[in-house]
């Protein structure tokens, strides 16, 4: 769920200095939220994580950049700060496909190991006694031993 920022306006439609953030599903954040006292809040930024640094983004300054640890006042200020700190800015277009492919490969390997273990349990001659006992109604006992407690004495 992205974070949406709202600015509060009084009943005379004048903006106040107060803002708040709320979480909504993408596409479900209302443009305005009305309050009982006649004031209302108006959404004034796009959801975090979907922002692109383009010329249209200039109207959304200033903002605090957590990665840089400073308040950014313009696109130029951000560019200069990145050069000064020796970092390359990432504008929300991170490609995680390699990490996902690695994770999926790992999951497939784990599934293959589990399938091999199940196959050996059902077909390997070394587990024939287990299968015979299981088929006659035997179930292994699951014993959970009491581990006790650790007593900490105050200093």
Render pLDDT for 27-37 as a digit per residue (tens, 0 to 9): 777 888 888 88
Q: Where are the domains of the chain?
A: 3-85, 97-135
Exposed/middle/buried for residue 13 (C-beta within 10 Å: 0-12, 13-18, 19+): exposed
Strands (DSSP E) found in the chain? 3-9, 15-23, 32-34, 40-43, 63-65, 70-72
Degrees, nearest 5: CA angle 98-88-4: 80
Q: How many CB atoms lie within 10 A of CB 19?
A: 13
Report pLDDT for 104: 94
Instruction: Characterize 115-150 residue by residue with b for buried, 16 or more Cβ atoms within 10 angstroms of its Cβ, and e for exposed.
Output: eeeeeeeeeeeeeeeeeeeeeeeeeeeeeeeeeeee
Residues 6+ apart with CB under 8 A from 51: 45, 57, 60, 92
Render pLDDT for 94-149 as a digit per residue (tens, 0 to 9): 778 888 999 999 999 999 999 999 999 999 999 999 999 999 999 888 777 776 66
């Amino acid at each position: 769920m992205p974070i949406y920022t709202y600015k509060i306006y009084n009943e005379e439609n004048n903006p106040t200095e107060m803002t708040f953030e709320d979480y909504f599903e993408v596409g479900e954040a209302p443009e305005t939220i009305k309050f009982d006292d006649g004031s209302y809040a108006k959404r004034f930024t796009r959801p975090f994580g979907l922002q692109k640094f383009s010329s249209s983004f200039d109207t959304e300054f200033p903002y605090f950049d957590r990665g840089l640890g400073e308040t950014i006042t313009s696109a130029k200020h951000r560019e200069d700060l990145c050069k000064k700190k020796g970092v390359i800015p990432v504008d929300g277009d991170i490609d995680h496909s390699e990490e996902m492919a690695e994770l999926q490969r790992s999951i497939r390997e784990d599934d293959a190991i589990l399938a091999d273990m199940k196959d050996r349990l059902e077909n390997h001659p070394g587990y024939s006694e287990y299968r015979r006992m299981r088929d006659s109604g035997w179930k292994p006992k699951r014993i959970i031993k009491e581990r006790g407690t650790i007593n900490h004495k105050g200093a």
